[in-house]
């Protein structure tokens, strides 16, 4: 089997799970990386590990409530985006918000102010 085909076959169970329910993400390492990258914690607005974990948990809780409002392809795409190198429920939530703006949700959702370990944060 070719490497590309093997990668697709191995990814199918993960994609199916993302479409069925909120993906399980290992956010601890992402929050450690996000807070380590922020450097000096005395700078106003910087995020601590604990606040990152709280934001990620809050985003995961919100995802549980709204996940079924989205089509399977949207859930699969957004679940895959959040499960990248630095997993983040905030990234999944932001992806769904963008999809919501594009009309992919049956029920509108509020915009989140959570930061978490999101890769979409402004870089300094």
Residue position matching structure tokens 């070719």: 2
Over residues 11-55, the pLDDT tens digits come to: 444 444 445 789 999 999 999 888 877 665 544 456 789 999 999
pLDDT digits (tens, 9 = 90+) for 50-66: 999 999 999 999 999 99
What does the buried/exposed string (b/e) look like for 86-117 if buried means 16 or more CB atoms within 10 Å of the residue's CB? bbbbbbbbbbbbebbeeebbeeebeebebbbb
How many domains, in total, are found in the chain?
A: 1
Q: Please indicate, yes or no, if residue 29 is contained in any of the structural domains.
A: yes
Question: Is the residue at 115 inside a domain?
Answer: no
In-domain check, residue 69:
yes
Q: Tell whether 107 is covered by a domain.
A: no
Q: At what angle do helices 49-66 and 27-37 cross, to 10 degrees?
A: 140
Quick check: is 123 in a domain? Answer: no
Helix (H) / strand (E) containing 88: none
């Amino acid at each position: 089997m070719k490497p590309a085909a093997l990668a697709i076959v191995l990814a199918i169970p993960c994609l199916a799970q993302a479409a069925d329910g909120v993906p399980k993400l290992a956010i601890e390492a992402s929050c450690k990386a996000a807070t380590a990258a922020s450097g000096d914690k005395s700078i106003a607005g910087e995020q601590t590990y604990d606040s990152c974990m709280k934001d990620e948990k809050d985003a995961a809780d919100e995802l549980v409530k709204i996940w079924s409002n989205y089509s399977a392809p949207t859930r699969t795409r957004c679940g895959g985006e959040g499960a990248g190198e630095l997993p983040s429920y905030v990234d999944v939530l932001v992806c769904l918000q963008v999809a919501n703006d594009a009309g992919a949700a049956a029920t509108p959702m509020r915009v989140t102010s959570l930061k978490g370990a999101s890769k979409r944060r402004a870089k300094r």
